[in-house]
Amino acid sequence: MPYPAFVELCEVGPRDGFQFEEKPIPTDLKVAIIEGLVAAGLRRIQVTSFVHPKWVPQMADAEEVVARLPAREGIVYTGLALNLRGLERAHAAGLTHVDLSIATNETHSRDNANMTVAEGVRQAEEMIRRAHAYGMQPQLGLQTVFGYAAPGDTPLPFVVDLCARFAALGVESISLADSTGMANPVMIRERVTAVQEVIGDTPLVLHLHDTRGLGLANVVAALACGVARFDTSLGGMGGCPFIPGATGNIATEDTVYLLDALGVPTGVDLAKVAACTRRLEAFLGKRLPGKMHRLVAPAEAPAS
């Protein structure tokens, strides 16, 4: 089966990656990194999350980050909102796209959002209606789709029903998250094709973590199913504090390298993304888990 003619990478490092770091990242550096990612050719970037700073101190400057990002044609900045208050803040900040997220496992839902899965679904439906009223594009993500305590323990019929339900509400896209990194190529093919059958023209996104080293193998399996949008994180940053042992997202640079090798264009300059990652490594004082950012020739780092 031929691969898609073009793949869009959605950079989630400035949210999913930054919020996992204990060392406070200055707003100036956050903005500089995001601008560097734009310069590298990324056109869809999740720049922050609108959550209470008591729980996620790293995201306390959400409004300031958004206010300082230059509006550029063809660039979509998104922000994560976990409740109606977060949605209101995203709208007030001026974002046109908002990311919503639902747990599919009861334990994870209570740990991550302090509500049941059913309560999370009802809240997401109201958030979608509110986002539409504001003229915003809601993007819906489902967590732990490929397993929580064990691979495949999230029932596939439940996932399919949720996807059909939310596609009918008019979301901009639906994302399937391998939050625990339990997916494998066989599961990817099974679950992606089942969801594709019920969501019509709604774009399908995969949010893959590399906990068990199968992240890029899962990308190849998804490409064969026609998936043309993936969440990635510079340097492989990220994780989830409520999932023991969870590691970062698939690295943006590693994914670009893979897609280049397969002849699938992304419009992303690997060396320029790597410059952003190396700058973060220098600030954080540690190595990030991605591979290619250490192997490519240095590129000019984003200006402060």
Q: Where are the domains of the chain?
A: 8-294
Architecture of the structural domain at 8-294: Alpha-Beta Barrel (3.20)
Contact 167, 202 (CB under 8 A): yes
Question: Residue 251 in 3-state DSSP?
Answer: strand
Tokens of 121: 């679904």
The catalytic residue among 10, 163, 240, 276 is: 240
Does 240 qualify as catalytic in the annotation? yes
Instruction: Tell me how far apart the alpha carbons of residues 198 and 196 are, in angstroms, rounded to a whole number.
Output: 6
Instruction: Tell me how far apart the alpha carbons of residues 86 and 207 are, in angstroms, rounded to a whole number.
Output: 21
pLDDT tens per residue across all 304 residues of the chain: 689 999 999 999 999 999 989 999 999 999 999 999 999 999 999 999 999 998 899 999 999 999 999 888 999 999 999 999 999 999 999 999 999 999 998 877 776 667 888 999 999 999 999 999 999 999 999 999 999 888 889 999 999 999 999 999 999 999 999 998 999 999 999 999 999 999 999 999 999 999 999 999 999 999 999 999 999 999 999 876 666 666 789 999 999 999 999 999 999 999 999 999 999 999 999 999 999 999 987 755 444 4
Instruction: Tell me how far apart the alpha carbons of residues 245 and 82 are, in angstroms, rounded to a whole number.
Output: 23
